[in-house]
Amino acid sequence: MFQSFEVTARPEQGPPRLAALREKIAAAGIDGFIIPRADVHQGEYVADHDARLAWLTGFTGSAGFCIALADIAGVFIDGRYRTQVKAQVDLAHFTPVPWPEISSGAWLREQLPEGGKVGFDPWLFTAGQLAEIETALEGSGITLCQTENFVDAVWEDQPPPPMAPARVHPLEFAGEAYGDKCARLAQDLRTAGHSAAVITLPDSLCWLLNLRGGDIPRVPLLHGFAILHDTAQVDLFVAESKLAELGDHLQDDVHVRAPADFLTAVAALDGAVLVDKNTVPVVVADQLGDKAVMGSDPCALPKACKNAAEIEGAAQAHLRDGAAIVELLAWLDSQPAGSLTETQVVTQLEACRRQDNALQDISFDTISGTGPNGAIMHYRVTEETDSRLEDGHLLVLDSGGQYQDGTTDITRTIAIGTPDDEARACFTRVLRGMIGMSCLRWPTGLAGRDIEMIGRLPLWLAGQDFDHGLGHGVGAYLSVHEGPQRLSRVSHVPLKPGMILSNEPGYYREGAFGIRIENLLVVEEAPALATGDAHRDMLCWRTLTFAPIDRRLIVPDMLTAADREWLNAYHAQVLEHIGPRVSNDAATWLRAACAAI
């Protein structure tokens, strides 16, 4: 799942906006300007105020950037978005660039062979990103220079920064008082010889202080910055009006200051200051100079390793969410092929979720893609693209809910009418990959990159694959995408007990269909085997998501005995946990949907 935005440009709006931007670039005496997807906090999600890439190009994916030069504007997109970008940008004015296969440095070398000067906003790039580009440009004569943000200069109706009120995340769901978190992390700072840590990521700030906000649609984040001192004192840089509803939650150990004071406070810090090398903006690193110690956000790993209250909350949220999914699936199965559109499914699913008063919001804009639209990995239905669910289609339905006790994210691929044999074979390979990962036991110390191929193996054996990670971390009533844990070829972070991740293999055939199956799993210490072999400490998964998998799309003869055993046991659990929570009609449907294979 990936977040999408309200701020977009229709393809025909892009060229005049690009022309206005080029006028500003030329007036500044430089040759180009880089427009990243990021905001000043360097998180994944951006508010409408910061959706510069979407406003300029029309591209609304969760990752990517544009480099605008005088005669070419490259839109850099990874494998998830190569179908989507073609529909969203004016291809006569914006050129899609496959990234990371082609890096920004290599592309600039080709486009500016005589050298040149390219501007960037130092708030919107991390120190690590800047160093990587500059290394790639060595010897080219091309230089990067800090400038004002030229997109802001031409965006006349740019929305204001979000100012939603913050609220307390109750201790019963957080599982640990914020003062105890600060003391624990401050001890880590002292042990490492650090005097302070600079925190720029909104989800880290929210987790540390047991706060939630509303500055991002669907994700309860509070925009701000923080400095955690080795004394466990915190300087919090948030507009004071946002904190008006917190009562006495924040005590004397938290000093609220104006966001405008942040850089001055950073510059005044003494001693070694820890910053996250992957998220600290260039402008903050410049203020620290030699005092900066490039490391990891001190909140990231503790936040990822959920405590007992957070895990129990996630489990309960998934049971309620599973009931909503079953109600939707039962309703959908009763509708004739061709009678519904993608948006009608989205509306009905949200209505099912809102039957639970505990729902705060959906956790992202629902992906409902039928037929060829399902092949757009992170498709978002619009009035122009809304399609009917026709006989033979596969519907990819990726959705989630935000509850105070947990965040959910689930994908099911659903047969509309009678699917063809090729689609069923591809679905069964995806399912086998999902089952393989669900069953896995692995030695302590392994990272996502070490095991994620398990979810791809059945597809690889058929010469197939998919261009997104196998899984992402999920927060506790926070970001539906949470780091540092991932099931990805590039993830070096060892998996630890308490981490919640998605398990979502897929397959996408452009112009035809898409497939994805997703459950959320929590890492646990593996129980001892009956053999008693204790040669390695092992980890395993516990499944949190309970909703049936469409049996009509499974080719039984392609399943191994172990696959069949897992699937039948899983469906028995779905029936046990969800059956008592749904209406009589849905319960009847569920019994048939969970029948053994």
Alpha-helical runs (H) found in 443-560: 448-451, 457-460
Q: What is the pLDDT averaged over residues 506-516?
A: 97
Strands 142-146 and 116-120: parallel
Is 282 in the same domain as 182? yes
Residue 1 lies in a domain: no
Is 273 in the same domain as 393? no
Residue 351 lies in a domain: yes
Is 174 in the same domain as 262? yes
CB contact burial 527-555 (16+ within 10 A = b; e otherwise): eeeeeeeeeeebbbbebbbbbbbbbebbe
From 144, 188, 179, 165, select the one nearest 36 (Cα to Cα): 144
Q: What are phi and psi of 180, to 5 degrees?
A: -70, -35
pLDDT in tens, 419-469: 999 999 999 999 999 999 999 999 999 999 999 999 999 999 999 999 999
Both tokens assigned to 2? 């990936």
308 in the Ramachandran plot: left (φ > 0), alpha (ψ -120 to 50) or beta?
A: alpha
Q: Is the pLDDT at 272 greater than 90, yes or no? A: yes
Is 367 in the same domain as 516? yes
Q: What is the CATH number of the domain that holds 357?
A: 3.90.230.10
pLDDT in tens, 329-367: 999 999 999 999 999 999 999 999 999 999 999 999 999
Four-residue CA torsion sign, 287, 290, 291, 297: positive
Which percentage of the chain shows pLDDT scores above 70?
Answer: 98
Q: What are phi and psi of 75, to 5 degrees?
A: -105, 110
pLDDT in tens, 551-590: 999 999 999 999 999 999 999 999 999 999 999 999 999 9
Query: What pLDDT shows up at residue 3?
Result: 36
Query: What pLDDT shows up at residue 4?
Result: 39
Is 373 in the same domain as 514? yes
Is 273 in the same domain as 419? no
Is 197 in the same domain as 225? yes
CA separation for the pair 165, 295 (Å, rounded): 31
305 Cα distance to chain centroid: 17
Is 228 in the same domain as 135? no
CA separation for the pair 34, 56 (Å, rounded): 12
Last residue of a domain, one of 241, 266, 299: 299
Query: What pLDDT shows up at residue 62?
Result: 82
Strands 73-77 and 95-98: parallel
The range of the structural domain enclosing residue 63 comes to: 11-154
Last residue of a domain, one of 261, 282, 299: 299
Q: What angle do CA 414, 417, 422 make, to 5 degrees?
A: 70
Alpha-helical runs (H) found in 395-516: 421-438, 448-451, 457-460
Residue 5 lies in a domain: no
CA atoms within 13 A on the CB side of 155: 21
Helix (H) or strand (E) holding 66: strand 65-69
Whether the CB-CB separation of 524 and 453 falls below 8 Å is answered with no
Residue 161 lies in a domain: no
Mean pLDDT is highest, among 14-18, 111-115, 477-481, for: 477-481
Residue 570 lies in a domain: yes
CA separation for the pair 233, 240 (Å, rounded): 18
Q: What is the pLDDT averaged over residues 528-545?
A: 85
Is 232 in the same domain as 257? yes
> Mean pLDDT, the chain, as a whole number?
95
Query: What pLDDT shows up at residue 143?
Result: 95
CA separation for the pair 376, 367 (Å, rounded): 10
Q: How far is CA 311 from CA 119, 173, 185, 208, in A?
A: 45, 9, 21, 17
Q: How far is CA 591 from CA 321, 330, 595, in A?
A: 18, 11, 6
**Confidence category of residue 5, pLDDT binned at 50, 70, 90:** very low
CA separation for the pair 146, 555 (Å, rounded): 57
Last residue of a domain, one of 259, 275, 299: 299
Return the biggest CA–CA distance within the chain.
Answer: 74
CB contact burial 205-223 (16+ within 10 A = b; e otherwise): bbbbbbbbbbbbbbbbbbb
Residue 160 lies in a domain: no
Asked if residue 159 has a cis previous peptide bond (ω within 30° of 0), the answer is: no
Find the distance separating the first CA and the last CA of the chain, reported in whole Å: 29
Both tokens assigned to 369? 């893609």
Query: What pLDDT shows up at residue 378?
Result: 83
SS3 for 68?
strand
CA separation for the pair 487, 490 (Å, rounded): 9
From 208, 205, 166, 147, select the one nearest 183 (Cα to Cα): 208
Is 20 in the same domain as 138? yes
pLDDT in tens, 83-141: 888 888 988 999 999 998 999 999 999 999 888 999 999 999 998 899 899 999 999 99
Strands 32-36 and 116-120: parallel
Provide the domain count of the chain.
3
Residue 162 lies in a domain: no
Top-confidence residue, 113 or 511: 511
Both tokens assigned to 88? 């969203």
Whether the CB-CB separation of 391 and 552 falls below 8 Å is answered with no
Which percentage of the chain shows pLDDT scores above 90?
Answer: 90
Is 351 in the same domain as 467? yes
**Confidence category of residue 1, pLDDT binned at 50, 70, 90:** very low
Model-level pTM? 0.92
From 353, 318, 332, select the one nearest 585 (Cα to Cα): 332
Q: Is the pLDDT at 533 greater than 80, yes or no? A: no
pLDDT in tens, 147-162: 999 999 999 999 999 9
Q: Which residues contact 375 (CB under 8 A, 6 or more apart)?
A: 83, 369, 508, 509, 510, 511, 512, 513, 514
Both tokens assigned to 395? 């519907």
Q: What is the CATH number of the domain that holds 22?
A: 3.40.350.10
pLDDT in tens, 391-428: 999 999 999 999 999 999 999 999 999 999 999 999 99
**Confidence category of residue 8, pLDDT binned at 50, 70, 90:** low
Is 378 in the same domain as 516? yes
Asked if residue 484 has a cis previous peptide bond (ω within 30° of 0), the answer is: yes
Q: What are phi and psi of 584, to 5 degrees?
A: -60, -45
Q: What residues are paired with 394 via a beta bridge? A: 415
Whether the CB-CB separation of 398 and 536 falls below 8 Å is answered with no
**Confidence category of residue 530, pLDDT binned at 50, 70, 90:** confident
Residue 596 lies in a domain: no
